[in-house]
Structure formats: structure tokens, C-alpha cells
Amino acid sequence: MAVRPSIDFDIFDPDFVRDPFPTYDRLRTQSPVVYTERWGGQWIPTRYADIESITRDTDHFSSVTVSVVGPKPGEGPLLIAPPVSLDPPIHADVRRLLLPAFSVAAIDRVEPLTRTIVGELIADIAARGPGPLDAATEFAQHVPVRVIAAMLGIPVALEATFTNWVDRILKVGANQPEVQSAAAREVREYFAGLVEERRADPSPPDDLITYLIGAQIDGAPLDRKYIIGILFVLLMAGIDTTWSSIGSSLWHLATHPEDRERLVAQPELMPMAVEEFLRLYSPATMARIARQDCEIAGVAVRAGERVLLPFPAANRDPAVFSRPDEAVLDREINRHSAFGLGIHRCLGSNLARMELRVALEGWLAAFPSFELDPDHAVTWTGGQVRSAKTLPLILGR
């Protein structure tokens, strides 16, 4: 058998998490796909074309677990997370059920609420006056939790609990399966209780939980396990990914005053700038499991092995994007893969785009000038989703 293009690569290495892009550039020139023994073994393709073809090849690559680490089939309990963890054909049925709730028209209806949430957060920051400010914990990390809580019909008052679950499942738990499964159990128990309450409610509210309880596939109601799994995904999938994008965009604007000034002067560029921030700072890396022996870019992969989908690497591939490491705020052609590619492409992309746009518009209108606080470090977490943990800023200099 041909020698594997092996390297020692740790997706959780703090230096890599701080700035993953030079490593991805190096790997891309070294070999289209490399293998590391870390975390039970991972293949890492870095070219857009290969990452795209893996996402589209559901015959060879399964989504049964999309975590970058953790049990593979046969190694322990896998997280049931429909539709992200489903393969064809059932995937399409579940996805079809959810699409209307995340259509452009449906998300337009959520925009006023999002503006209110953003406005309140900004008013709190402005009312405090000058002093140290952490745009990650005081701003970015609140917006998506509050929005999805309202959409699902769960109390915003439990925001701290939801954030704690995200932290334990996707951050701390990303490489500590026992932390992850304890938190996942709490989420499932919470939603199981809510579903029971709803079923007993003679006039249930008009929200996503009620919708899922009434939903049918081929004339049959959704299995309870599926309803809980879907609610789990809807709560988890859109929180740290979106707060990551808000945080990274603010980090960019704090460190690139020319881009900040341009966006303040030309707010009409915002929709294109949002796409560019998503491309440049794509937060999510997903995974697949090879269903059978196959190849990636001519390199042999064995059945059962884990293959990462580092969308952040795909989005800086010079074969696809000119000036890949620069923010071109008015980039005309921008077919980035921040939301994934293929059948699992992000269901919440309209929502995420709207939240990012509204958050940045609100922030720039209130705080047109800001920079990094030289006395406090920006810190990042990474692995499955890279995001700013703290983003200390100074306003208005």
C-alpha cells in the first residue's frame, strides 16, 4: 500500500487555533490531503475542489457523525442530530420539513426582533460609558442565543443555560466526549419535557416546537427521538457559529481601520462584506466517515476512517479565490463554503446572514470607531468551530 501522507497535526493546538490559515496554506502546498493520528485519526483535505467533492459524494462519505473527534460508528453512542447526522434518503425528508421555517421570507419576519435584541445590547454597552469592553461576551455571544430561543419558543431567561450547553457540547466538550455527552443528555431531557408539555397544551403557541410536533413524513408523525434531536440541532447549530462570525467580523474591523471606515461610509456594501467575512473567517469544520475504501485526490482512504471538512481552508484556496487572504469587501464572485456544500448545506444560512448583517449595522451605527484594547489579549477557541472567546475593544478613539 502507498505510504500515507502523514503529519502531526492537532486541530486543538492553541497556536493553530489562534491563526489556522498559514498552516492550511502550508498543508495545501504539501499534499492535497494529509493524515494525522491525533484524535483517533483524521484525514485533512485542504483544497476547495476536494472538500466540495467529499460533501457531494454521499455514497462514499457518511454524515453519521460530523464531529471532528469522538466516537465513530461501533465505538460508542453517536449523537442523533437530524438532519445534520442523517444520510440519504431520510435526510431529504427531514430537511424538507424544516426549510419553510428558515426561508428568506420567514427570516425577514425575524429581523425586527433581531434589531431589538441588537439595539438593547448596544444600549447597555453605550450606557456604561468608557471602560474595558469585551465585544465577544458582551455582544456577539448574546445575539444568536436570544434569536433562536425566540424562534424555538423557549424562554430567553434561560440564555445562560443555553450558552453553557453550547460551551460544554461544542467548545469544552469538542475533545472531551464525557463532558459533551453529559451536556447533551441535559439538552435532550429539557426538550423531552417541553415536547410533553406541548402535547398536553390545548392551545399551544405558534413556534417551531409546536410545528415539529404536528409535522409528518409520509403521513406519519415524527418520531419523538427525531423531534428532540432536531430541536437539539436547531439550538446548537446556529449559536456559536453565528457568534463566531459576528466576533471575527468585529475583530477584522478593529484591526483594519480602512475597511471599517469604508463600511461606515458605504453601508450599502454590508451584504457583500458579510459574505466576505464569512469566507475569510469561516468558523466551522465538519467531518465525515468513509463508508468504504475509497480515494481522496488519488490517496487511499480506508472504510471507517474520519475525514475532516475544513471549510476555512477551502475558503482561502488560491485556485478559487483571488487575493484569498484579503478582505475584498465588494468581492463580486464569492462562492464560499462557510455554510458547507452539498445536501447538508446550512439550513440556517438566511438566518445567520441576517443576524450578522443586523449586528454589524447596529454596531457600526453606534460605534463607528473602535480598536483592539492593547492591555487585554484576544483569545480564541477552536476545533469544530473557531471563535473569539474574548474580544477586548476600546471604543471611539
- Give the footprint of ligand HEM on this chain (CB under 6 A): 55, 63, 66, 83-84, 95, 148, 233-234, 237-238, 241-242, 245, 283-284, 286, 311, 338-340, 344, 346-348, 351-352
Q: Is the peptide bond before 73 cis (omega within 30 degrees of 0)?
A: no
Nearest approach in angstroms of CB 359 to ligand HEM is 11
CA dihedral (216, 218, 224, 226) positive or negative = negative
CB within 8 Å of 363: residues ≥ 6 apart: 118, 122, 135, 139, 250
Nearer to ligand HEM, 190 or 373 (CB): 190
Nearer to ligand HEM, 23 or 242 (CB): 242
Picking from 13, 132, 31, the residue whose alpha carbon sits closest to that of residue 68 is: 13
**Closest among 244, 282, 259, 261 to 330, alpha carbons compared:** 259
Q: Which is nearer to ligand HEM, 38 or 357 (CB)?
A: 357
Asked if 243 and 281 count as a contact pair (C-beta separation under 8 A), the reply is no
Tell me the CA end-to-end span of the chain in Å, nearest whole number.
Answer: 61
- The smaller minimum CB distance to ligand HEM, of residues 351 and 388, is found at 351
| CB of 28 or CB of 386, closer to ligand HEM | 386
CA dihedral of 35, 36, 42, 43, whole degrees rounded to 10: -20
Euclidean distance between CA atoms 278 and 296, whole angstroms = 26
DSSP state letter for 292: S
CB-nearer residue toward ligand HEM: 27 or 354: 354
Query: Closest residue (Cβ) to ligand HEM?
Result: 348
| Alpha-carbon span 273 to 267, nearest angstrom | 10
- Strand-pairing partners, residue 286, are 309
Q: What are the b/e assignments for 50-71, b being 16+ CB within 10 Å?
A: bbbbbbeebebbbbbbbbbbbe
CB-nearer residue toward ligand HEM: 51 or 395? 51
CB of 245 to ligand HEM, least distance (A): 4
What minimum distance in Å lies between the beta carbon of 307 and ligand HEM? Answer: 11
Min dist. Cβ of residue 336 to ligand HEM (A)? 10
Q: Which of 204, 245, 236, 257 is nearest to 368 (CA)?
A: 257
CB of 235 to ligand HEM, least distance (A): 8
Cis bond before residue 83 (omega within 30° of 0)? yes
Dist. CA 175–CA 180, nearest whole Å: 8
Minimum separation from the CB atom of position 389 to ligand HEM (A): 17
Q: Between 331 and 344, name the residue whose CB sits nearer to ligand HEM.
A: 344
Smallest gap from Cβ 351 to ligand HEM, in A, equals 4
Which one, 17 or 148, has the nearer CB to ligand HEM?
A: 148
CA neighbor of 148 nearest in space, from 37, 236, 26, 21: 236
In whole angstroms, the minimum distance from the beta carbon of 265 to ligand HEM comes to 25
Nearer to ligand HEM, 373 or 389 (CB): 389
The CB-of-338 to ligand HEM minimum distance in angstroms stands at 5
Of 372, 376, 361, 378, give the one whose Cα is nearest residue 395: 372
CB of 386 to ligand HEM, least distance (A): 10
The residues that bridge with 36 in the sheet, in sequence order, are 42
